[in-house]
């Protein structure tokens, strides 16, 4: 494990930054610790740094790999259309090849938001490669038509906004535009509106880097048709994920509501869900100590350990 202490910024030298070529892209990740492998996947509007309050504690027990997803952070942004290069299958294959490139055949998977979508796609294709799944605030198919209910439609405007061809020109025109957008989203989605005050500059630095705004939007462009299918047709019937699963859900999340966990049993065969009443959308960031304990307990349990 890297024992240096300067971890005040995403690019501080104490973090063990690495890159590997997988699935046609150069993928960035931070790796810390020793033990059973644990991969952490971020959401929107995030990058690997969203886990910086979790990595050191988890790395005392696990081999923690925290990548930037395709299009995000320091990972490469393939040119061309989102539908050609940014589908959920691309993301799942990235994870499959990343772990194999690191010599990891089976691992635990922790994910949030966008990362949770990637994790579910991976689990349906390669369940045998997972010891367990841990989600923080999980968009899953059982939400169905509720995404666009009258009382909720105002919360998902950004998903349509991200389809616009001019979005990166507008948000990336100057630092202040980007800051206003990210700050509004982080403030509204967190239970404590000041949770990101000391970290906003890191978020702006990241998304002002070349290609990062478009890279993040490409996820939403590539996922647009599947989201519309949920709104039109409701929750689909899919094979149940047969991997031990635990969820820690922020009870004050205004965009992925904790009451929407009511259909998890239609999609996961073995799950437990806990709601944290003092967290919003970013429970892993807002309540890091509780999240770290829950992750450690789950992946140290006999049921999960037996799958390693």
Tally of CB atoms within 10 A around 292: 19
With beta carbons less than 8 A apart as the criterion, state whether 76 and 21 touch. Answer: no
Is 220 catalytic? The answer is yes
CA neighbours within 13 Å on the CB side: how many for 176? 0
CA neighbours within 13 Å on the CB side: how many for 49? 21
Catalytic residue among 91, 112, 281, 284: 281
User: How does DSSP classify residue 258?
Assistant: G
Q: Nearest Cα to 58, choosing from 100, 92, 108?
A: 108
Query: At 286, which helix (H) or strand (E)?
Result: helix 283-286
Is 113 catalytic? The answer is yes
Tally of CB atoms within 10 A around 206: 25
What backbone phi and psi angles, to 5 degrees, belong to 64? -100, 120
Catalytic residue among 52, 220, 276, 284: 220
Q: Hunting for tokens 């000041």 — which residue is that?
A: 194
C-alpha distances (whole Å) from 204 to each of 70, 179, 308 are 18, 6, 38
Q: What b/e sequence results for 74-105 when a residue is b if at least 16 CB atoms lie within 10 Å of its CB, and e otherwise?
A: bbbbbeeebeebbbbebbbbbbbbbbeebeee
Is 94 catalytic? The answer is no
Catalytic residue among 113, 162, 276, 284: 113
Which sequence positions are flagged as catalytic? Answer: 113, 220, 281
């Amino acid at each position: 494990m890297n024992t240096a202490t300067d971890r005040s910024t995403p690019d501080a030298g104490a973090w063990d930054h690495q890159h590997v070529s997988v699935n046609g892209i150069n993928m960035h990740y931070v790796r810390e610790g020793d033990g059973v492998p644990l991969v952490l996947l971020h959401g929107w509007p995030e990058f690997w740094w969203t886990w910086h309050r979790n990595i050191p504690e988890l790395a005392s027990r696990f081999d923690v790999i925290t990548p930037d997803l395709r299009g995000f952070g320091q990972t490469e942004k393939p040119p061309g259309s989102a539908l050609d290069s940014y589908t959920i299958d691309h993301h799942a294959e990235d994870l499959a090849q990343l772990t194999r490139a690191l010599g990891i055949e089976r691992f635990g998977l922790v994910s949030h938001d966008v990362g949770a979508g990637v994790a579910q796609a991976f689990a349906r294709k390669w369940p045998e490669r997972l010891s367990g799944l841990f989600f923080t605030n999980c968009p899953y198919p059982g939400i169905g038509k509720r995404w666009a209910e009258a009382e909720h439609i105002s919360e998902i405007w950004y998903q349509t906004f991200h389809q616009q061809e001019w979005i990166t020109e507008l948000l990336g025109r100057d630092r202040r535009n980007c800051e206003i957008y990210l700050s509004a989203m982080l403030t509204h989605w967190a239970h404590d509106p000041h949770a990101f005050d000391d970290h906003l500059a890191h978020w702006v630095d990241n998304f002002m880097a070349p290609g990062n705004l478009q890279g993040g939007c490409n996820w939403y462009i590539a996922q647009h048709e599947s989201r519309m299918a949920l709104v039109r047709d409701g929750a689909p019937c899919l094979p149940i994920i047969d991997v031990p699963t635990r969820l820690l859900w922020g009870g004050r999340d205004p965009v992925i509501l904790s009451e929407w966990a009511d259909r998890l049993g239609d999609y996961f065969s073995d799950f437990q869900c806990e709601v944290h009443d003092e967290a919003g959308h970013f429970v892993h960031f807002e309540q890091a100590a509780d999240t770290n304990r829950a992750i450690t307990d789950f992946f140290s349990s006999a049921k999960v350990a037996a799958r390693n």
